[in-house]
């Protein structure tokens, strides 16, 4: 029908992740989640309030939240994954196979990004202290719930995820 081919379509929409997580990942790759840089553009926050709530960098962006914040870097490092050169726009190219092998690495990345977002919101809205162990545990808990979303033959992928998320 002459439609446009989008590079990250398979990453986003063919994942066994729940639809709300796939939708979040879509917004994330477009740079449309409500990080403070977007809230600044919409005149919801002022420049002095647009920094990262955790590390204080001057502007919280999706890239900073997922790959650049010291907490996010520590999270990915605990999974033995490098964030060097990673960006949310090219998240479909982020290689998580070092952590989970061929066990649905794209869905694993979506799971991790989802929980980095949820952890950020807990810090902002509930004033929780960021905890790497709590974030890894939340990822493990959701991974167990997601097991049922996989085809029977692929349910063992979650075991590889759980091994990577053991911290």
Work out the pLDDT band at 7, boundaries 50, 70, 90.
confident
Q: To 10 degrees, the CA torsion angle through 146, 106, 137, 35?
A: -110
Comparing CA positions, the residue from 38, 60, 31 lying closest to residue 124 is 60
**Greatest pairwise CA separation for the chain in angstroms:** 51
Task: Give tens-digit pLDDT for 120-139.
Answer: 999 999 999 999 999 999 99
Of 153 and 1, more confident: 153
pLDDT average, residue stretch 60-82? 97
Residue 2: pLDDT over 90: no
Task: Give tens-digit pLDDT for 24-42.
Answer: 999 999 999 999 999 999 9
Helix (H, G, I), strand (E, B) or coil at 32: coil
Asked if 166 and 132 touch (Cβ cutoff 8 Å), the reply is: no
Element (H, E) at 80: none
Q: Positive or negative CA dihedral for 38, 134, 151, 18? A: negative
The answer, as to whether pTM is greater than 0.85, is yes
Task: Give tens-digit pLDDT for 93-120.
Answer: 999 999 999 999 999 999 999 999 999 9
With a CB cutoff of 8 Å and minimum separation 6, the contacts of 14 are none
Residue 4: pLDDT over 70: no
Please, what is the angle between helix 70-78 and helix 105-126, to 10°? 140
Percent of the chain at pLDDT exceeding 70: 96
Helix-then-strand count for the chain, H and E:
9, 0
Distance CA 89, CA 29 (A): 4
* Cα 48 to Cα 63, 82, 120, 145, distances in angstroms: 19, 31, 18, 40
Cα 8 to the center of its chain, rounded Å = 15
Asked if 90 and 1 touch (Cβ cutoff 8 Å), the reply is: no
Each domain of the chain, given as residue ranges in start order, spans 16-164
Distance CA 19, CA 73 (A): 26
């Amino acid at each position: 029908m002459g439609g446009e081919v989008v590079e990250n379509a398979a990453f986003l929409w063919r994942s066994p992740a729940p639809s709300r997580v796939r939708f979040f990942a879509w917004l994330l790759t477009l740079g449309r989640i409500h990080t403070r840089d977007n809230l600044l553009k919409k005149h919801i926050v002022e420049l002095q309030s647009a920094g990262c709530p955790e590390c204080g960098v001057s502007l919280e962006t999706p890239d900073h939240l997922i790959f650049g914040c010291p907490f996010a870097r520590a999270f990915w490092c605990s999974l033995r994954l490098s964030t060097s050169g990673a960006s949310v726009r090219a998240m479909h190219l982020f290689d998580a196979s070092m952590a989970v092998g061929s066990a649905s690495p794209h869905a694993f990345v979506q799971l991790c990004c989802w929980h980095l977002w949820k952890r950020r919101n807990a810090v902002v809205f509930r004033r929780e202290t960021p905890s790497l162990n709590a974030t890894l545990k939340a990822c493990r808990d959701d991974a167990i719930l997601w097991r049922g979303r996989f085809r029977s033959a692929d349910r063992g992928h979650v075991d590889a995820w759980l091994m990577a998320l053991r911290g």
